[in-house]
Chains A and B, each alone.
Chain A
Amino acid sequence: MAGYILRRLLQAIPVLLGTTFLIYFMVFAMPGDPIVALFGDKTPPPSVIESLRERYHLDQPFIVQYFIFLGNIFRGDLGVSFSGQPVSEILMATFPVTLRLAAMAVFFEMVAGITIGLVSGLRKGGIFDASALVVSLILISLPIFVLAFVMQWFFGIYLGWFRTTVGPGAPTQDLILPAIVLATISFAQIVRLTRASVIETGGQDFVRTAASKGLSRNRIVPVHILRNSLIPVVTYLAVDFGTLMVGATVTEGIFNVPGVGRTLYQAIIRGEGPTVVSFVTIMVLIYLVVNLLVDLLYAVLDPRIRYAK
């Protein structure tokens, strides 16, 4: 087991190199000159463009830029944004917020999605099952901005239960509403996955065996059915956690969350290579660790799965 974990951690190195290279290349390949854009609708004098390009190493060939960046990373220097703020500072300010937001969203998804999926699966074809399908379908076909807007208006302005946007310091209670909005995106997937998995597991021999042994329903459902149905659900939740770490641009914008999605989007649009790559690097690290944990969790959920070969 320890060997497996070590191997997985070592694999992070090529993944990091590959990702940073790819991202750096993409930022480089983005059409448009970020320096020209800094000046707005005014055309800057060529001499100034040149010296600014030099300052950000934009005059160098792509591969040189990449290695300069890589070299700086090893010295712990992630560079500065166009606004002169050290990228490391931006990371420290935004990641904890988004991390909390994503964790809360995944938590809501998990609780609501698994519960509803389980009941749907156990009572397949019933009224509850059909209503769950309809509700999750409505949620998935609503664009996120509509949902965010409606929730913000209803709970924030009409009922006044929550602050309309996230206040200074991003307190946890302000994050509840955006987390619920984010959770609804994948809610349908979790419900349907859990349901399908529960139905499948419910037909397995070991469940029938358990039932014929005379075990109570209260024991069969959590221990035999649910536990054995969780593998695809847990996998998907982990994937979703990764998505939420970057993908919350719209929701973070509507609720004014000072998080990763908003900042990363701005950096992409402005062509700030170092900022984008640093963000994505952290993302990959988080994602690798989460996936490793999930892989280890498989063995707990289903002892037949083993890694250390």
Chain B
Amino acid sequence: MQSNTRPDQQHFVAPLDETPLVAIDSVKAEGKPSNLWTDAWNDVRKRPMFWISSVLILLVVVVALFPGWFTQTPPNNDCLLANSNGGPTDGHPLGFTKQGCDIYSRIIHGTSTSLAVGIIVTSLVAILGVVFGAFAGFYGGWLDAVLSRLGDIFFSIPYILAAVVIMSVLSGYRNVWVISLAIGLFAWPATARVLRAEILRVKNADFVMASTALGVSRFRILLRHVLPNSIAPVIVITTISLASAIVAEATLSFLGVGLPTNIMSWGNDISQAQTSLRTAPQTLILPSIALSVTVLSFIMLGEVVRDALDPKARAQR
């Protein structure tokens, strides 16, 4: 690079090209215009944790979609009490449940239900939570009052009561969607409140004021600047709540307002295994491991994404 100072110019500070600042402030004019999302993508794809978690999630999704590729044993038929809580045998690598069903097959066939419930509930909670939290926190005033108090009402309804009512009223339609609705409809206020708090903090930041001064519309500021900078806690909460959703489905099954018993799910198996806790803990531990691995891969992915969306954390590396 050519020095852009005239020969006779006096310098009281170091020339710009001699300071580290030049590296930070320089603009790569020849590159594509960068934005938060492409930066994030360029960052995550270099990280092994991203690939490990993605492969795991992909595997879980494939199992969910094509259980037949992984096991030929029917999960719900040929359950013989003679095999109750039995250990592994030929063709039954993980042994049997209390009812004498094949554990491996039940885990494989339960994947789609549990994963679907987890993802639908988490999405529902994330969407409702982000919409309510973002508007309440960013616009404040009466909108905050209305949205926040609405959240308070939903939050204070005991979810057992709500689930019993929803599932009983819709007893003819007990499927994955309805049960996810019953769980998610009363779980979003926590997410909304955390996001609202974060937005209250971020909206006073200098870059928001700068955007306002530049005449950017309020909604655009929320979308482009405030939200990306306050989303981190939401990612943390939602990835973990994936696990809670899968477990909540188990609780509802246990209460008799879950999915019909011919639909397999990890949660269902976990709650049924509890009476064997003292005598055959593997019937409980094995589906729990499936749940843990799935949740772990989502948490890892969430972690990578959260990190990538935080430009300052990225710059530190």
Contact = CB atoms under 8 A, between A and B. Distances in A.
B288 A141 contact: yes
Given A149-B277, A298-B197, A137 B236 contact: no
A235 interface: yes
A280 B155 CA distance: 10
B243 A141 contact: yes
Contact of B197 (A143, A232, A264): A232
Interface string A14-43: 110011001100110111000000000000
Contacts of B156: 19, 242, 246, 280, 283-284, 287
B233 A304 contact: no
A287 B152 contact: yes
A268 B257 CA distance: 14
B141 interface: yes
Nearest to B266: A141
Interface string B271-286: 1001001000000100
Interface string B285-311: 000100110011001000000110010
B232 A239 contact: no
A236 interface: yes
Contacts of A276: 158, 161
Mostly, the B contact residues are helix
Contacts of B250: 143
A232 B233 contact: yes
A119 B161 CA distance: 39
Interface string B92-126: 00000000000000000000000000000000000
Given A137-B292, A141-B243, A239 B155 contact: yes
A169 B154 CA distance: 33
B315 interface: yes
A19 B140 contact: no
Contacts of B237: 189, 193, 236
Given A27-B161, A146-B284, A309 B141 contact: yes
A138 interface: yes
Contact of A145 (B190, B232, B274, B291): B274
B168 A31 contact: yes
Interface string A133-162: 100011011110110010000000000000
B164 interface: yes
B221 interface: no
Interface in B18-54: none
Contacts of A247: 158-159
A72 interface: no
B233 A193 contact: yes
A188 interface: yes
Interface of B: 140-141, 145, 148-149, 152-153, 155-162, 164-165, 168-169, 189-190, 193-194, 196-198, 200-201, 204, 232-233, 235-237, 240, 243-244, 247, 250, 270-271, 274, 277, 284, 288, 291-292, 295-296, 299, 306-307, 310, 312-313, 315-316
Nearest 3 pairs of A and B residues by beta carbon: A203-B312, A304-B204, A141-B292
20 contacts: A18-B153, A31-B168, A31-B169, A137-B295, A141-B243, A142-B288, A143-B270, A143-B284, A193-B236, A196-B236, A199-B313, A200-B312, A231-B201, A239-B155, A239-B190, A265-B160, A268-B161, A268-B164, A291-B193, A305-B201
